[in-house]
Chains A and B, each alone.
Chain A
Amino acid sequence: AQSVTQLGSHVSVSEGALVLLRCNYSSSVPPYLFWYVQYPNQGLQLLLKYTSAATLVKGINGFEAEFKKSETSFHLTKPSAHMSDAAEYFCAVIGWTGNQFYFGTGTSLTVIP
């Protein structure tokens, strides 16, 4: 079975500081992992994906994530936070059938001016 755990339901960073959002996965098979962002009153937008190619994945808006098998982690980072990064972030893993996404509980990012 596949699942993801997001550590920290709320993260606050100062504008210009490093953003680190944590995601750990559990999977009995090589996982396919995703990060989505949700701005207020909007749907989910794909930030980046890991599909067993390069372990360091670059996404949109300056975000990247590194797949670490030894740590079963797929943490999301951005070197310098911008006010526009304030949103809800969801880590997700895809199930065997490819039809089911298992979402983490989400992390709300606040950026302090």
Chain B
Amino acid sequence: DTEVTQTPKHLVMGMTNKKSLKCEQHMGHRAMYWYKQKAKKPPELMFVYSYEKLSINESVPSRFSPECPNSSLLNLHLHALQPEDSALYLCASSQQSGGAGKNIQYFGAGTRLSVL
């Protein structure tokens, strides 16, 4: 089973709203990732959690707040977003151990976010 589950699939929010994206995996992976993807572009890395600790923050604005409550769950809290934040948000997970060659990332289907 290589499934990463993201909810919701679609989200529409106003610029003053607070919402959260959820990601879940049960593969025993210890690294989890958030990416932002604009249409026809590659995914852009936002955050990396390694063993439930934030290890990489790619200078993401503070209106995006990640959280890793446990090794299976990853959240992305959204507040005061801008219309340009509209995108597909992808979650991924990887094994984290066994060397870089074994650290394949498995992606969820994404949350399509529209900010009005």
Contact = CB atoms under 8 A, between A and B. Distances in A.
Do these two chains interact? Answer: yes
Interface of A: 32, 34, 36, 41-46, 49, 51-52, 88, 90, 94-101, 103-106, 108
Interface in B1-18: 4, 6
B75 interface: no
A45 B90 CA distance: 12
Given A43-B90, A43-B107, A103 B43 contact: yes
B69 interface: no
5 contacts: A32-B100, A43-B6, A51-B101, A98-B94, A99-B31
- 6 nearest A-B pairs in the assembled complex, by CB-CB distance: A98-B100, A51-B101, A103-B42, A98-B103, A43-B107, A44-B107
Contact of B40 (A42, A101, A106): A106
Given A90-B43, A98-B102, 6 more contacts: A43-B107, A94-B100, A94-B103, A99-B55, A100-B48, A105-B42
Contacts of A104: 42
Chain B, interface size category, equals: 20 to 34
B96 interface: yes
Interface of B: 4, 6, 31, 33, 40-43, 45, 48, 50, 55-56, 90, 92, 94, 96, 99-110, 112
B108 A43 contact: yes
A53 to B, nearest CB: 9
Given A43-B108, A99-B48, A106 B41 contact: yes
Most B CB atoms within 10 A — which of A43, A95, A108? Answer: A43
B56 A99 contact: yes
A88 B104 contact: no
B106 A96 contact: no
Contacts of A90: 42-43
B50 A99 contact: yes
A46 B104 contact: yes
A52 B101 contact: yes
Contact of B45 (A32, A36, A49, A101): A101
